[in-house]
Amino acid sequence: MSSETLSLREAQRELTRNRILDAALDLISEEPLDAITLANVAARAAVTERTLYRYFATRDELVEALWPRINDRAAHGRTFPETPEAMIRQPSEIFPGFDQEEGLTRFVFTRQGQELRLSVNDKRQAAFLQAVAKARPDLGESDRRELAAICQLLDSSFAWVSLKDYWGIEGNQSGPLASETIQLLLAQFRRKGAGDTS
């Protein structure tokens, strides 16, 4: 078998895998995750269920493979901010996209979405801690951790959904509000750690 034949097979395999993932992504955008079955995904992708099972043996495997695509589509490829500037800017940039991809954004509140978010939690925490340490080297470790936690909350789909659902504030308004609040917190946070008595 020639290498050209092999690469054609690999290309076809990748194309089929992408069709399945795109179909699942479209379905998640349209209906609740628990209503989506592998049979629905196969039908939307125009492949047999048997073909789908060659790529994803379980629904959980399929959902896990979707996470990078969900992030790319709903958050425009968002990465964790490692500088204060990126942390401040990010909500303004991504919250409007959450509105455009509301179904996908709300996916993070499902069991699978929560598991996927937690699977990268160490990286997320490290990035926010790094950004806060650059902005506020004067703070103790405990205070930096608390400030990073609040900044991460403001820079998340949790803040977006709370402002949208409870206050009717759309992403093009809530993003700048979150960005401005992060900027104010970084500048004015004055809390002393529990062990600091001065």
* Amino acid letter, residue 87: M
Tokens of 165: 């659902």
The CATH number of the structural domain formed by 3-57 is 1.10.10.60
For the chain, give the longest Cα–Cα distance: 75
Output the pLDDT for position 108. Answer: 80
Q: In a 3-state reduction of DSSP, which class is residue 80?
A: coil
CA 43 – CA 14 distance, rounded (Å)? 18
Output the pLDDT for position 92. Answer: 96
pLDDT tens-digit series, residues 29-40? 777 667 788 999
Q: Provide the 10 A C-beta neighbour count for residue 93.
A: 15
pLDDT band at 3; cut points 50, 70, 90: low
CA 30 – CA 103 distance, rounded (Å)? 6
In the chain, what percentage of residues exceed pLDDT 90?
58
CA 180 – CA 169 distance, rounded (Å)? 15
Q: What's the DSSP call for residue 75?
A: S
Break the chain into its structural domains and give their ranges: 3-57, 71-188
Q: In a 3-state reduction of DSSP, which class is residue 47?
A: coil
Q: Provide the 10 A C-beta neighbour count for residue 86.
A: 16
Q: What is the mean pLDDT of residues 122-137?
A: 95
Contact 151, 87 (CB under 8 A): yes
CA 87 – CA 100 distance, rounded (Å)? 21
pLDDT band at 176; cut points 50, 70, 90: very high
Contact 131, 151 (CB under 8 A): yes
pLDDT tens-digit series, residues 101-117? 888 788 788 877 787 78
Contact 186, 88 (CB under 8 A): yes
